[in-house]
């Protein structure tokens, strides 16, 4: 059965989103066909506004409104400017903020080093990070990249790039999740938990 061109085109576009396969894309499109036209129009307008009304902060590269640069976090005088948390994506900033335990500033890399995907240090905001540290005022850089091969490679690269800058470079602790059972923990997580143990 040949689908109408607008339907097949939208299915193709949805499939380009991370984690969305052909079945999910089809379900989303058929759902949008059933909703009132106004609801579908609102979705379309929100997608257009996403690029028209947002930008990346010129300091930390997090997402901000077009009219707000630098972003609210970078402008907040109550935040500790000597403490810089380096994350891979804007969503990671939201995760750290939800924890409510960090009161410093951020630097968003927009990815991780991945030779397989053709992403090198020059494709990320690492040069801007080094320049930001070089300008002074930063005493500690917390590397909060994901605990994946790419995240580890990125953290090691940044660590080397910041050597000799007179800044303390730390890495987020890794280990057992709260409420987890030891018997179900994988070997790597358990090894990291033992390695990063702390005094009681």
Whole-angstrom distance, CA of residue 114 vs CA of residue 154:
9
Q: Please list, in sequence order, all residues whose beta carbon lies within 8 angstroms of the beta carbon of residue 130, skipping any fewer than 6 positions away.
A: 161, 162, 165
The pLDDT score that the predictor gives to residue 53 is 96
The pLDDT score that the predictor gives to residue 175 is 79
Parts of the chain with a pLDDT under 70: 1, 182, 198-200
Q: What is the pTM of this model?
A: 0.84
The pLDDT score that the predictor gives to residue 1 is 67
Q: Which of 14, 18, 12, 189 is nearest to 117 (CA)?
A: 18
* 53 to 65, 109, 151, 163: CA distances (angstroms): 6, 21, 30, 38
CATH for the 80-171 domain, from 3.30.465.10, 3.40.50.200, 3.40.1360.10, 3.80.10.10: 3.40.1360.10
Q: Where are the domains of the chain?
A: 1-35, 80-171
Q: Which of 62, 80, 188 is nearest to 142 (CA)?
A: 80
109 in Cβ contact with 87 (< 8 Å) = yes
Query: If you classify domain 1-35 with CATH, what class do you get?
Result: mainly alpha
190 in Cβ contact with 199 (< 8 Å) = no
Helix (H) or strand (E) holding 138: none
């Amino acid at each position: 059965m040949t689908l109408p061109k607008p339907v097949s085109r939208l299915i193709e576009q949805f499939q380009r989103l991370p984690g969305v396969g052909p079945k999910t894309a089809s379900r989303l499109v058929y759902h949008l066909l059933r909703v009132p036209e106004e609801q579908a129009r609102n979705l379309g307008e929100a997608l257009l506004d996403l690029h028209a009304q947002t930008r990346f902060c010129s300091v930390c590269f997090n997402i901000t409104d077009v009219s707000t640069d630098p972003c609210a976090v970078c402008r907040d005088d109550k935040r500790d400017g000597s403490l810089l948390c380096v994350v891979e994506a804007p969503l990671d900033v939201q995760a750290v903020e939800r924890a409510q335990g960090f009161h410093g500033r951020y630097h968003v890399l927009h990815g991780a080093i991945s030779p397989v995907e053709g992403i090198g240090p020059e494709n990320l905001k690492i040069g801007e990070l080094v320049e930001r540290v070089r300008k002074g005022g930063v005493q500690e850089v917390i590397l909060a990249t994901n605990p994946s091969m790419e995240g580890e490679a990125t953290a090691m690269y940044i660590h080397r790039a910041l050597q000799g800058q007179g800044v303390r470079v730390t890495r987020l602790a890794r280990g057992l999740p709260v409420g987890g059972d030891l018997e179900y923990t994988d070997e790597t997580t358990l090894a990291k938990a033992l390695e990063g143990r702390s005094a009681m």
